[in-house]
Amino acid sequence: MLTNRDLKAKDLDKDLDRLGFVGEAAEAMGRRLTGTGLAVIFLGLCAAVAASQIVSGDMSNALILVAASAIAGYMALNIGANDVANNVAPAVGARVISLTGALVLAAICESAGALLGGADVVSTVSSQILSPDDVRHNFTFMQAMLTAMAAAALWINFATLVGAPVSTTHSIVGGVVGAGVAASGFAAINWTTVSTIALTWVASPVLGGLIAAAFMAFINSRVVYAADRLAAARFWLPILLGLLGGVFAAYVSKKTGDRLLDLPDWLSIGLAVLTGLVVWRIYLHVVRKQTVTQENTARAVRQLFAIPLMVTAGLLSFAHGANDVANAVGPLAAIVLSQSSDFPDLVFWYMGALNPVIPLWVSAVGAFGISAGLLLFGRRLVMVVGKKITKLSPVRAFCVTLGAATTVLMASALGMPVSSTHIAVGAVFGVGFYREWHRNRYVTENGRIKPRKMMRNREERRRRLLVRRANLLTIVAAWVVTVPATALFAAALFHLLSLIFAL
């Protein structure tokens, strides 16, 4: 029988449990509020930087610029939280790198790509969809760009909360189109440029999937299913990384002339070749050291792809920063340049026009905003791309990131704002569908590939499906809805802001 002392002790334990639960809840809430607080501080810094750049005495223009900088920072935070998950998700899904390590790696590479290689795509978003010359008043143009950013940022924030990896490129292009139509009618929009961008949205995920599947087929035939896997890996992996290093060096040397040194073509080629040889030689030594004590097994080969996977994840983050920084600061750049007296006349990118020089502080708002959003809020969507579409090993994840990085870099070199979400997810599906095709036609016995007998049982064929179709339909549906949703939202915000200014 319990005494009064025992009953009091039991009640005290219950009270302590309640206090502990309250303490844990308060700690979790504090962590959430810490992220939000740091985001608010960053937005304040963006506004302060814009205020320091004001040289005109026009108060309306100054307020638009400050507000646009803060909204661009908010947009960049949302891109980091939603979009950058695609870059590191394959590495995390393959369990090659921890989630925290992947986020830090992506943040560094994202900032570098945005600052060094993002000017061309920023120019396309800032002036070649809606030009200042096609809007009646300069203030109306700035108002349209401001509302385009706000609509896109709010839509991405909503998508992040519900866990949908939507396209930030779709969001900002839809916002610019909707605000432009509201500001000056359908004729103000450069539908040729919009059509070209939309075409890349269809082609880029298919291209990313095909490139990733091609890499998967090549590595399977040359390394994974080779008689001596370790010898094949020692030969091919340094070559692949050397080629990757050389191409990346050539891209950086040609696309960062306005930020670093403007090198002549012969020197850029020489630098690319030298970089490729150095990377090849270094990794040749690394992979030989790794294989000294390993046996000729598939597991040993998978371990050899850990370093290449982290390298390609960093490269994909750089490419994403170079391309998708335009989604955050393209409209801000348009507002900054529209307030400049020497804003040049632009023609379409494919006619070889010279782009205006984007101020470094504008790119910095996008670069550091994307990195901050990734570190503060980017954990949620990593698992969607990394684990919920198809099972990823280090080899498959390497092919995914390499295919996606190659496609995004090609688009950035052309100045086209493609959707890195499209491409990364397309690469994941490309590898997954290739695995299905290979598994349904071939069987591996004792390390050798043999043709598989045709399966007539529909249920057995269904069990061999390696790609989750439901996730594909969900992601595609989110993509389809994004452009009209942000366009209508931007148009509504434009009219609302016009009414406020009219008061």
DSSP secondary structure string for all residues of 36-56: HHHHHHHHHHHHHHHHHT---
Q: How far apart are CA 67 and CA 69, in angstroms?
A: 5
Let me know: does 241 contact 398? Beta carbons within 8 Å.
no
Assess contact for 353 and 115: CB atoms under 8 A.
no
C-alpha 301/C-alpha 380 separation (Å) is: 30
Backbone angles phi, psi at 226, to 5 degrees: -75, 155
Q: How far apart are CA 379 and CA 305, in angstroms?
A: 24
Cβ distance 328 to 365 under 8 Å? yes
Q: Do 190 and 180 contact (CB within 8 A), yes or no?
A: no
End-to-end Cα spacing for the chain: 77
SS3 418: coil
What is the C-alpha separation between 286 and 238, in angstroms, rounded? 9
How many CB atoms lie under 10 A from the CB of residue 134?
15
159-208 pLDDT, tens digit per residue, is 777 766 677 788 888 999 999 999 888 888 888 888 888 888 778 888 88
Environment class of residue 137 by beta-carbon count within 10 Å: exposed (0-12), middle (13-18) or buried (19+)?
Answer: exposed
- Which residues are CB-contacts of 473 (< 8 A; sequence separation ≥ 6)? none
Per-residue pLDDT at 13 = 55
Rounded to whole angstroms, the Cα distance separating 473 from 475 reads: 6
pLDDT in tens, the chain (503 residues): 556 665 555 555 555 555 555 445 445 445 566 778 888 899 999 899 888 887 666 777 788 889 989 999 998 888 887 776 666 766 776 677 777 787 788 888 888 887 776 666 666 676 778 877 777 788 888 888 899 999 988 888 887 777 666 777 888 889 999 999 998 888 888 888 888 888 887 788 888 889 989 998 898 888 888 888 888 888 998 998 888 888 888 777 766 655 556 667 778 788 889 998 999 999 898 888 888 777 777 778 878 888 888 888 888 788 778 777 777 888 888 888 777 654 444 333 322 334 456 778 888 888 888 888 888 876 665 555 545 555 667 788 788 888 888 887 777 777 677 777 678 778 878 887 888 777 777 666 655 666 665 555 554 445 445 555 556 666 677 777 888 889 999 999 999 988 887 76
What is residue 453's DSSP assignment? Answer: P
Q: What are phi and psi of 449, to 5 degrees?
A: -95, 130
pLDDT at 70: 92
Helix-strand-coil percent breakdown of the chain, rounded to 5? Answer: 80, 0, 20
Give yes or no for a contact between 381 and 160, defined as CB atoms under 8 angstroms apart.
Answer: yes
d(CA 236, CA 233): 5
Task: Write down the pLDDT at residue 31.
Answer: 55
Up-side HSE of residue 257: CA atoms within 13 Å toward CB?
13
**pLDDT score recorded for residue 309:** 82
Q: Identify the CA nearest to 407 among candidates 472, 324, 475, 319.
A: 319
Strand partners, 44: none
Q: Please give the pLDDT value at position 454.
A: 55
Collect all residues with Cβ–Cβ distance below 8 Å to 357 and sequence separation of at least 6.
119, 258
Question: Six-digit token pair at 370?
Answer: 């994307």
Q: Give me the pLDDT at residue 138, please.
A: 82
How much is the pLDDT for 343?
45
Of 35, 31, 149, 115, nearest in space to 81 by CA: 35
Instruction: Render 137-152 in DSSP notation, one character per residue.
Output: -HHHHHHHHHHHHHHH
DSSP-H helix ranges across 262-357: 265-290, 298-304, 306-338
- Chain segment 268-307, per-residue pLDDT in tens: 788 889 998 999 999 898 888 888 777 777 778 878 888 8
Residue (of 65, 46, 67) closest to 366 by Cα position: 46
Residue 5 phi, psi dihedral angles, 5° rounding: -65, -40
- Report the pLDDT value the prediction gives residue 139, as an integer from 0 to 100: 84
CA pair distance 119, 115, nearest whole angstrom: 8
103 residue type, one letter: L
pLDDT at residue 26 in the model: 46
> By CB neighbour count within 10 A (0-12 exposed, 13-18 middle, 19+ buried), where does 353 fall?
middle
